[in-house]
Each structure stands twice: as structure tokens, then as C-alpha cells.
Amino acid sequence: MNLEDQSAHAAIGALIYLTAILIWLFVWHVADGYNLMKSRVKSLWIPFLLALFFLSINAILVFLFDDIGTSDYEESRFVFIDSRAMLAVQALAAVLIVATIVYGLTVRRLPLEFIRFMVYSVVSILGLVAPIVWIPDGLTSGFFVLRHFQNAALMVGLFLCVAGIIVMLSDLLAHGEARVVLDPRELVDDEEDVENNSSN
């Protein structure tokens, strides 16, 4: 592989991560992350900055170390992406199950911001990382581009998931007086008591 091909691959790889940074900033805006960071959930700065850090580091690394390995090497790198994607999917499922149970037992609505972050996370991880793109045998460049594309999408999805978890935990802490009950009849009795007290 000549020097021009290596430079082209470095530019393409870096461009993938720079584009991911722009998409991250846009999705964060659409998910109302900026307003949440400034007002209610200041800890959202953590996933916001970490995503920018990891995407930037990858852009720099792929630009500086632009060598492409053999097809076998490039294909073997997908093992890392697959394992992390599986971890992310399990985390997504666990968070959604826990949120449904906790909020269901407390008879409260899920925070809209939590739902936004989780939806975008699912779209990023399942919609961009999970689909299969068949690369022709011997087309090492295709493996290289696909690997970095899926890596960028996975990072965006992971940190959106982390942001959703932070929003949910922050909301639960803000409503710490919420009581978990196992018998729905207790909630009806409590509501009737509140109504009787307010009418008196």
C-alpha cells in the first residue's frame, strides 16, 4: 500500500470521528442535554465530555497511525466492537426493565428526557452498529471504514445510554419520598386518604 492510500485512509478514518462529534453535538441538542446540564442535571457534563474525549482521541489516533492491516487483522478487530455492543445492549435492556419496574411500582411517569436519551441510544447501537454490511473478500479498506464507523456509532450510543441512566437516577433522587408498594390496593387507599384529608 502506497503513501497516498495510507493518507486517504487516515483522512477517511478521522473524518468518520469528526462527523460523529458533530452528530453527537446535534443529538445532545435534540435530546435537550444542554438545558439539562445547565439547570437540573449538572452531572450530564460527564457523559457529554467523555464522548467528545473518546471520539477526539480516536480521530487523532486513526490519523497518526493510519496503517491498515490484512483483511484477517481488520476483520478480527470486530470482535472488540461486537463484545462492547453486546454489553451495551444488555445495559440498555437492564436499564429499561429497571426503569419500568421502579416507575411502575411508584405509579409515576418516566422522565421525558430519559426516554429521549434511551431512544437515541437504541437507534445508535441497534440501528447503526448491529446491521450487517457484507465486505467483499480482500477489500481491506472496506473493513477499515466499517470498523471505525461502527466504533463511532457505538461510542455515541453508549454515552447516550449513560446520560439516560444519569437522568433517571437524578429523577429518582429528586423524588426520594416516593414509596414502593407491591400491592396496588395500597395506592388506591392512599389516594382516597389524601382526597378525604383535602376535602376536610
pLDDT digits (tens, 9 = 90+) for 8-28: 777 888 899 999 999 999 999
CA 155 to chain centre: 7
Q: pTM for the whole thing?
A: 0.75
What is the C-alpha separation between 145 and 129, in angstroms, rounded? 13
pLDDT digits (tens, 9 = 90+) for 84-137: 777 777 877 887 777 777 766 665 677 788 889 988 998 988 888 877 777 777
CA 117 to chain centre: 7
Q: Which amino acid is at 24?
A: W
Domain ranges in the chain? 3-173
- The grid cell for 184 is 396496588
Statement: residue 51 has pLDDT above 90: yes
